Amino acid sequence: MTAFLLNTSKGDKIDAAREILTIISGTGDMIVADELLRELAEKTRITESVLRSELKQIKKNVRSHVLEGLGLMKAAEHREEYLLLSAMIAFPEKAEYVLSRIDTEDLKDETIRSLFKKIKSLRNTFTLESLLNEAGEDSALITGLSLKPGFDLEHVDRNIEDCLQTLLRKRFEEKRRQAEESGDISILNALLKEKRELLKGQTNGR
């Protein structure tokens, strides 16, 4: 695994090592993590003790970012966007469906919008590892969400649908406010029709 990540990394050896250490920091199996670290030391010829020290610092930073990220998800206006990103990180096979249901340009959080676009560009090659390889300074957030998804993994489909419906409602309300402010009756009528279709779809889907 480390050989593949080193070969596909866009940075130099030091940057690549840090990216891999970030991935290792999210590994729950200590035996696997230790084996990966030893392999990384062998491939990069960086002293194992130095890598372990760097790994400890990365874990500390990730824990801090996790707590910050979770606080953000609980209080943020755009919590649903974080949860959808978290769902795709935990279940990459759900990404195609999520991306088919929303327009990334409608996403309000700049960081989330950027990461959604990266996932979309990766297409069938999207995995946690491939996203981390593209994420740059957002890698800590991604690792944090992979460790603490923020929802019950057994109910991922329900979580995704709830988030998508909430985003649809928010988008509708935003359009309605804009139409009322502009006094455009035709847009208001079109929005009312859209809302009826939305409600019909929810009823039929039950």
Range of the domain at 94: 78-206
Answer yes or no: do 53 and 148 share one domain: no
- Return the minimum-mean-pLDDT range out of 76-80, 190-194, 196-200: 196-200
Nearest-5° Cα angle at 97, 94 to 98: 85
On the question of pLDDT at 187 being above 90, the answer is no
CB 147 within 8 A of CB 66: yes
Query: What's the mean pLDDT when you consider all of the chain?
Result: 77
Q: How many domains does the chain have?
A: 2
Answer yes or no: do 113 and 36 share one domain: no
| CATH code for the domain in which residue 177 is found | 1.10.860.10
Answer yes or no: do 5 and 60 share one domain: yes
Tokens, residue 120? 């979309």
Answer yes or no: do 108 and 49 share one domain: no
* DSSP letters for 146-177: HH--SS-GGGHHHHHHHHHHHHHHHHHHHHHH
pLDDT of residue 118: 95
Answer yes or no: do 5 and 22 share one domain: yes
Q: Which tens digit of pLDDT belongs to each residue from 37-67?
A: 888 888 888 888 888 888 887 776 655 555 4
pLDDT of residue 78: 80
Answer yes or no: do 71 and 85 share one domain: no
Q: Which tens digit of pLDDT belongs to each residue from 84-138?
A: 999 999 999 999 999 999 999 989 888 899 999 999 999 889 999 899 888 887 8
